[in-house]
Structure 1
Amino acid sequence: MNNSVDYRPEPNLAYAVVFGFVMVLGLPLNAVSLWILLRRHSLKSSNAIFMVNLAISDLLLVISLPMRVYLYATGTWPLSSKACNCITMLFRNNIRLSAIFITFISVDRLLAVVYPLRSRHLRTASNAWKSVALVWLFVLVVNIPEGMVLAGNLNNSSESTCFEFRGQHQQQQQQQQEQLRLALSYFQIVLVVTLLTVNLVSTALVSCTLHRRLNDSAKVNNKVNVMLIFAMNLVMFTICFLPVSVGVLTIKRHEITPLVCLASVNCCLDPLLYYFSLDAFWKKKEDVDLAREQ
Structure 2
Amino acid sequence: MTNSSNCSDPDLKPYYAVTYAVILVPGLVANTLALWVFYGYMKETKRAVIFMINLAIADLLQVLSLPLRIFYYVTGTWEFGGGLCLLCFYLKYVNMYASIFFLVCISVRRCLFLIQPFRAGECRRVCDVSVSVAGWAVVCVACLPFPLLRLHKDNTSTCFVDLPIEKLDLPTSVTLMTMGELVGFVMPLLIILYCSWKTILSLKEKNSASHDLGEKKKALKMILTCALVFLICFAPYHISFPLDFFVKTGRIRGGCVQRVISVFHAVALCLASLNSCVDPVIYYFTTDEFRRRLSRQDLHDSLQLQHLSYSRKHSRDVLVEDTTE
Q: TM > 0.5 between the two?
A: yes
The normalised TM-score by structure 2 is 0.73
Cα distance in 2, alignment partners of residues 70 and 48 from structure 1:
35
Q: Residue 119 of structure 1 aligns to a residue in which SS?
A: helix
Cα distance in 1, alignment partners of residues 226 and 206 from structure 2:
23
RMSD of equivalent CA atoms: 2.9
- Relative to structure 1, is the Cα distance of residues 184 and 59 closer, same or farther in structure 2, using a 3 angstrom cutoff? farther
The normalised TM-score by structure 1 is 0.80
- Relative to structure 1, is the Cα distance of residues 43 and 199 closer, same or farther in structure 2, using a 3 angstrom cutoff? same
CA contact (8 A) 2:78 2:157 kept: no
More off after superposition, 65-74 vs 27-36? 65-74
Question: What corresponds to 1:203 in structure 2?
Answer: 196
More off after superposition, 54-63 vs 216-225? 216-225
- Relative to structure 1, is the Cα distance of residues 186 and 11 closer, same or farther in structure 2, using a 3 angstrom cutoff? closer
Question: What corresponds to 1:216 in structure 2?
Answer: 209
Q: Residue 79 of structure 1 aligns to a residue in which SS?
A: coil
| Runs of 4 or more consecutive aligned structure 1 residues displaced over 3 Å after TM superposition | 9-12, 143-146, 158-161, 165-169, 178-185, 219-225, 276-279
- Relative to structure 1, is the Cα distance of residues 165 and 234 closer, same or farther in structure 2, using a 3 angstrom cutoff? same
- Relative to structure 1, is the Cα distance of residues 215 and 207 closer, same or farther in structure 2, using a 3 angstrom cutoff? same
The aligned length equals 268
* Residue 149 of structure 1 pairs with residue 149 of structure 2: yes
CA contact (8 A) 2:199 2:216 kept: no
Cα distance in 1, alignment partners of residues 92 and 162 from structure 2:
16
Q: Which has the larger radius of gyration?
A: 2
Give the AA of the match of 2:138. Answer: F
Question: What corresponds to 1:230 in structure 2?
Answer: 223
Question: What corresponds to 2:178 in structure 1?
Answer: 186
CA contact (8 A) 1:44 1:125 kept: no
Cα distance in 1, alignment partners of residues 67 and 206 from structure 2:
48
Cα distance in 2, alignment partners of residues 194 and 210 from structure 1:
25
CA contact (8 A) 1:46 1:124 kept: no
Cα deviation, 1:61-98, whole Å, max 9, x if unaligned, reads: 00111122122222222221211111111111122111
Kindly report which structure 2 residues correspond to 1:44-59, keeping only aligned pairs within 5 A, or say none: 45=46, 47-59=48-60
Cα deviation, 1:221-248, whole Å, max 9, x if unaligned, reads: 6544322212221112212112212312
Cα distance in 1, alignment partners of residues 51 and 97 from structure 2:
14
Cα distance in 2, alignment partners of residues 87 and 165 from structure 1:
13
CA contact (8 A) 1:239 1:262 kept: yes
CA contact (8 A) 1:43 1:125 kept: no
Cα deviation, 1:141-186, whole Å, max 9, x if unaligned, reads: 22444332222xx335x698412247587xxxx336x876654433
Question: What corresponds to 1:80 in structure 2?
Answer: 81
Q: Residue 65 of structure 2 aligns to a residue in which SS?
A: helix
Cα distance in 2, alignment partners of residues 260 and 102 from structure 1:
18
Cα distance in 2, alignment partners of residues 168 and 31 from structure 1:
35
CA contact (8 A) 2:203 2:217 kept: no
CA offset at residue 133 of structure 1?
Answer: 1.1
* Residue 126 of structure 1 pairs with residue 126 of structure 2: yes
- Aligned-pair identity (%): 28
CA contact (8 A) 1:11 1:73 kept: no
* Residue 71 of structure 1 pairs with residue 72 of structure 2: yes
CA contact (8 A) 2:177 2:242 kept: yes
- Name structure 1 gaps, 5 residues minimum: 1-8, 288-294
Residue from 146, 161, 164 that aligns with 2:161: 164
- Relative to structure 1, is the Cα distance of residues 140 and 163 closer, same or farther in structure 2, using a 3 angstrom cutoff? same
- Relative to structure 1, is the Cα distance of residues 259 and 128 closer, same or farther in structure 2, using a 3 angstrom cutoff? same
* Residue 17 of structure 1 pairs with residue 10 of structure 2: no
Question: What corresponds to 1:136 in structure 2?
Answer: 136
Cα distance in 2, alignment partners of residues 14 and 260 from structure 1:
11
Cα deviation, 1:179-203, whole Å, max 9, x if unaligned, reads: 7665443332112110100000100
Cα distance in 2, alignment partners of residues 214 and 88 from structure 1:
52
Give the AA of the match of 1:21. Answer: V
Cα distance in 1, alignment partners of residues 39 and 31 from structure 2:
12
- Relative to structure 1, is the Cα distance of residues 19 and 147 closer, same or farther in structure 2, using a 3 angstrom cutoff? same
Q: Residue 229 of structure 1 aligns to a residue in which SS?
A: helix
Give the AA of the match of 1:129. Answer: V
Question: What corresponds to 2:236 in structure 1?
Answer: 243
Q: Residue 155 of structure 1 aligns to a residue in which SS?
A: coil
Question: What corresponds to 2:43 in structure 1?
Answer: 42
